[in-house]
Structure formats: C-alpha cells, structure tokens
Amino acid sequence: MVVESHADGVKPGQVVEHFLGLREATVIDAAGVVAIDTDDLPAEIYLGVLGATGLTAWLGITQVAPVRSGDTVFVTGAAGAVGSIAGQIARLRGAKQVIGSAGSSAKVRHLVDHLGFAIAFDHHDDAVGERLAQAAPDGIDVVFDNVGGAQLEAAIGHLRVGARLALCGMVGQYGGREPHGLRNLYELVTKRATARGFLVTDHQDQLPAFRAEVSSWVRSGEIVHRQTVLDGIERVPEALLGLLCSGAPAIGKTIVRLQGQA
Ligand SMILES: NC(=O)c1ccc[n+]([C@@H]2O[C@H](COP(=O)([O-])OP(=O)(O)OC[C@H]3O[C@@H](n4cnc5c(N)ncnc54)[C@H](OP(=O)(O)O)[C@@H]3O)[C@@H](O)[C@H]2O)c1
C-alpha cells in the first residue's frame, strides 16, 4: 500500500504491485508500480492466480504448448502455485482430460476433489510411466512440466504424435541436486513433438490480456485458487525450503505476509 506519494496518479492508500521482490518497505519511481483493483478481490490474489504465477500458467497453456479442444494434458507439480492454475486453465480451454502428479495423498485428493483434474497420482508411490499408460492409453497431447527429471522422462515416453511440451521449471534439480539425464529424447523426434522453455519475465506485456481472461474465471469460481500463508519476513527461508521439498504440506501459492501490509 502506498504510504506517501509525490507522483500524479499514485495516491496514499492505493494498493499497487511492483517487481522489486520481497520487502517490507521501499521507495520506488511511479513508473515501476501498477495499481491493482482490490474492490472485489483480495490484494494477495495478484501475487498468485492473477499475478506472475497465473501468467506463467496461462502462457504455458495458451501459447507455449497450446491446449486444443479434446487434448489430454499432463501437469507435473500440479498442486503447486503454477501447476494448479495450469491444470484448471487447460480444462477451461477445452482439454478432454487433465492428469496431475503431486507429492502427497492430500495434494492428490485436492486435485481431483477441488480442481477438476480427471486423474491424479502421487509421484512418490507410483511408477509415473505406468500411471500415465493407464490414464492416457492413447498418449498425451500436452505436457506442462514444473519438475523435470524422472517425471519428464516418463511423460516423454507417453507422447502422442504432434505433442507439445511447456518446460516451465525443473524444481527436482534445483539446490544442487544431481541432474537427471533424460534417456529418451529421441521420442521427441519420432513423435514430431515440440518442447519449449519459457520465462514469464519475457512476457509482462501480456499481463492485461491474461488478467482479462483469467479474472472472470476467478470471479465466477471456475478457477479455484488456494494459498498457504506464513506470517513475517523471518519465515521466508521456511517458505522457500517448502517449495524445494517434495511432499511438504503447502498447497497452491505460498505467500509470506509482511508486517505493515494492509
Ligand atoms: N518459467 C517461468 O517463468 C516460471 C515462473 C514461475 C515458476 N516457474 C517454475 O515453476 C515450477 C513451480 O513453481 P511454483 O512457484 O508453482 O512452486 P510450487 O509448485 O508451488 O512448489 C514447488 C513444488 O515442487 C515440488 N517439488 C519440490 N521438490 C521436488 C522434487 N525433488 N521432485 C519432484 N517435485 C518436487 C513440490 O510439490 P509436491 O509436494 O507435489 O511434489 C513443491 O511443492 C518451478 O519449477 C519454478 O521454477 C517457472
């Protein structure tokens, strides 16, 4: 929330977003802030489903690996911030079946019971390749991958001809973990597949178009979004470690609430 302003169009009391990262207070040029509408939506939603998280999901599903009507879609890390929104946008964009993987039975239940995933499974308990073969015997059209490694390899092993893969992240390999060498990349050749990496930071200009489409689904309740909130800047390490640990309890977007926030 703006405390003091000497710029036209930015008023004290107004809620704005910026891209300077996590901080309790800052001095910033007016050109670096965007006013957000908190009349009927809570401000923190602009950090999650209507923020960079949601934009990442929307870009992947609509442009990087566009989902078409009737597609079978597989989302890894599906109960997380990006994955949970990607799976729902895929369904709303006409996917026939959305399959998700997650790291606990509670997350798997959440995907099916609340987010409309057709099938979900715990990637710890099950052989991912076997689960995909059962869930999608005719193969997968679109993969939205947040994890990399063994799950990506399993997905590549079950592609349909012409499949598209949005390579969003590889959280399974962050933090100095041993890289997982994919052994079946030749399948991308035989399936005439397209695999594209992307970064949301290259696409900030699409924020208005994304918000125009997704905010109506949020308001209508067609997109369900959940947050895990930790209070205080001292809890940032705990929040970060939770993201790097599969099976951690956080579902949806993890947010650290700072003192002084409205
Ligand atoms: N391309 C972009 O511009 C962009 C933008 C934002 C985020 N991302 C990427 O998107 C992915 C998701 O980010 P997020 O913010 O939405 O995080 P998140 O999914 O809310 O949290 C990360 C989740 O990853 C899973 N995980 C952690 N370690 C794992 C491991 N070793 N093996 C398998 N799964 C593991 C855990 O879920 P389970 O407990 O369910 O296993 C964890 O909850 C990340 O790779 C991130 O880097 C990319």
169 lines ligand 1 (CB under 6 A): yes
Q: HSE (CB half, 13 Å, CA atoms) of 90?
A: 36
Question: Tokens representing 118?
Answer: 């057709």
171 lines ligand 1 (CB under 6 A): yes
101 lines ligand 1 (CB under 6 A): no
247 lines ligand 1 (CB under 6 A): yes
User: How many helices and strands, by DSSP H and E, does the chain display?
Assistant: 8, 10
Provide CATH code, domain 46-262: 3.40.50.720
The pLDDT tens digits for 176-218 are 776 778 999 999 999 999 999 999 999 999 999 999 999 999 9
Q: Does position 84 have pLDDT exceeding 60, yes or no? A: yes
pTM (two decimals): 0.96
DSSP-based three-state secondary structure for 214: helix
Q: What is the mean pLDDT of residues 91-112?
A: 98
Which position has the higher pLDDT, 127 or 262?
A: 127
82 lines ligand 1 (CB under 6 A): yes
Atom of ligand 1 nearest to the CA of 79: 40
Question: What was the pLDDT predicted at 262?
Answer: 46
Residue boundaries of the structural domains of the chain: 1-35, 46-262
Percent of the residues in the chain that have a pLDDT greater than 70, as a whole number: 98
150 lines ligand 1 (CB under 6 A): no
Confidence of residue 260 (pLDDT cuts 50, 70, 90): low
Atom of ligand 1 nearest to the CA of 53: 6
Query: What whole-number distance in Å separates Cα of residue 249 and Cα of residue 93?
Result: 29
3-state secondary structure 59-121: HHHHHHCCCCCCCEEEECCCCEHHHHHHHHHHHHCCCCEEEEEECCHHHHHHHHHCCCCCEEE
Per 3-state DSSP, the chain is made up of helix, strand and coil in percentages (nearest 5) of 35, 20, 45
If you average pLDDT over every residue of the chain, what do you get? 94
Query: What whole-number distance in Å separates Cα of residue 63 and Cα of residue 162?
Result: 15
What is the length of the chain?
A: 262
**What spacing in Å lies between the alpha carbon of 123 and ligand 1's midpoint?**
13
